[in-house]
């Protein structure tokens, strides 16, 4: 019993301490670009900038790509964690809590974005600092749930990283169906949807507007562990050292096969193994007291997620590129890491400031975090 309590406590600490590193992974994803405009020259970084391409691909397109699936996985696990059964009362309570933690921040940040961009569309002198899209009120309002395009598999709201929150709200609403799939089909249902994600299938139309296979699979995958009362660290520990050897190897194979047709399948295996790997690394460091617990960083994670785009990351990149005109490999690579660092410092400082002067407002826009 004591060992069980210890494992549960360690798991809780591991999940809390995973949040901030995963947000850093999201920042790296959004800081990546295969095309850079330096002075008046357009450079294809994939073929011409070797060091920048190596690090940006490694952190943005491989390691960082574990972040979003892992967030869905953790969300599914935590959604079904406490109740011994899943009835109407539990469902209503869960949705009510998600109303505050997901829907209100989603509406706040997207409406704020839409409002500001609408104002900017009326001020020609300021529009040059953004993109060249012709904004009008109808166009902006159509972006609240997700822009519909003919080329993208996904649609995105105005604050585009909030597609994750949109999809998370969707699968939370469908949690009774997810509970039924887990209890009636056990692992078969999880594997079937996992296979659809692995092979690249999506649900037509609705699959690009809130019900992507990545959200359904990983939320369902996490729910399976929770509904079956399985401690993630205990279950992942049964694999022993396999993930610690396999994941770095898969990362290198993924890195050097990016231009091959088979890469997407290697990449997706790496994501699954990466989830086990990062749980193992963080829990090991916590158990050995190699890292300190900083509740501030964990609590600030959602705010960093919400504010980093389009308010900080894109603007910092534009300003620094306009000032420095980076045209060599070293400077591009330096700026790649430096910009992420600046965004983290600024967003954490803003979070600390808001927490000091208006904690209620901060709780409102950050979902109570």
pTM, entire model:
0.90
**pLDDT score at 324:** 86
R_g of the chain, CA atoms, integer Å: 21
All residues at 6 or more sequence positions from 93 whose CB lies less than 8 Å from its CB, including other chains? none
Q: Where are the alpha helices (DSSP H) in 144-212?
A: 163-173, 175-185, 187-199
**Upstream peptide bond of 267 is cis (omega within 30 degrees of 0):** no
Which residue do the tokens 């699936």 mark? Answer: 69
Which residue do the tokens 């249902």 mark? Answer: 189
Nearest to 144 by CA among 195, 210, 232: 210
Is residue 327's pLDDT more than 90?
no
Q: What percent of the chain has pLDDT over 90?
A: 59
Q: How far apart are CA 135 and CA 158, in angstroms?
A: 12
**pLDDT score at 134:** 58
* Tokens at 28, concatenated: 């790296």
Query: What are 188-199's pLDDT values in tens digits?
Result: 999 999 999 999
Residue 310 DSSP one-character state? I
Query: What are 20-58's pLDDT values in tens digits?
Result: 999 999 999 999 864 454 444 444 444 445 888 899 999
Residue 8: band (very low, low, confident or very high) from pLDDT cuts 50, 70, 90: confident
H or E stretch at 321: helix 313-324
**Upstream peptide bond of 67 is cis (omega within 30 degrees of 0):** no
Instruction: Yes or no: say if 233 and 10 are a contact pair by the CB < 8 Å rule.
Output: yes
Pairing of strands 35-38, 41-44: antiparallel
For the chain, how far is it from start to end, CA to CA, in angstroms?
31
Helix pair angle (2-31, 295-307), 10° resolution: 30
**3-class SS of residue 37:** strand
**pLDDT score at 263:** 94
**pLDDT score at 145:** 73
Residue 200 DSSP one-character state? T
């Amino acid at each position: 019993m004591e060992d069980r309590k210890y494992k549960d406590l360690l798991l809780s600490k591991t999940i809390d301490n995973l949040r901030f590193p995963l947000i850093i992974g999201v920042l790296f994803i959004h800081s990546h670009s295969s095309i850079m405009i330096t002075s008046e020259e357009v450079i294809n970084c994939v073929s011409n900038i070797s060091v920048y391409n190596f690090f940006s691909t490694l952190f943005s397109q491989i390691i960082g790509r574990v972040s979003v699936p892992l967030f869905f996985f953790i969300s599914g696990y935590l959604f079904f964690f406490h109740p011994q059964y899943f009835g109407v009362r539990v469902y209503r309570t869960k949705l009510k809590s998600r109303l505050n933690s997901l829907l209100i921040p989603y509406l706040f940040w997207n409406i704020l974005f839409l409002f500001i961009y609408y104002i900017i569309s009326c001020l020609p002198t300021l529009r040059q600092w953004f993109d060249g899209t012709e904004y009008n009120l109808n166009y902006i309002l159509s972006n609240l749930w997700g822009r519909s395009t003919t080329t993208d598999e996904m649609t995105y709201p105005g604050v585009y990283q909030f597609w994750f929150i949109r999809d998370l709200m969707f699968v939370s609403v469908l949690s009774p169906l997810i509970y039924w799939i887990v209890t009636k089909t056990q692992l078969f249902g999880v594997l079937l949807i996992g296979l659809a994600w692995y092979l690249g299938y999506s649900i037509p139309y609705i699959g690009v507007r809130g019900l992507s296979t990545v959200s359904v699979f990983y939320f369902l995958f996490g729910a399976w562990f929770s509904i079956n009362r399985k401690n993630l660290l205990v279950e992942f520990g049964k694999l022993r050292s396999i993930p610690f050897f396999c994941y770095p190897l898969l990362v290198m194979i993924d890195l050097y096969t990016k231009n091959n047709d088979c890469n997407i399948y290697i990449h997706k295996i790496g994501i699954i193994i990466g989830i086990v790997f990062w749980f193992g690394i963080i829990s090991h460091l916590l158990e050995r007291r190699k890292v300190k617990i900083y509740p501030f960083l964990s609590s600030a994670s959602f705010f960093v997620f919400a504010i980093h785009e389009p308010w900080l990351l894109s603007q910092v990149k534009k300003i620094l590129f306009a000032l420095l005109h980076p045209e060599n490999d070293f400077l591009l690579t330096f700026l790649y890491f430096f910009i992420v660092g600046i965004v983290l410092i600024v967003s954490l400082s803003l979070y600390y400031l808001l927490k000091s002067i208006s904690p209620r407002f901060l709780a409102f826009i950050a979902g109570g975090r």
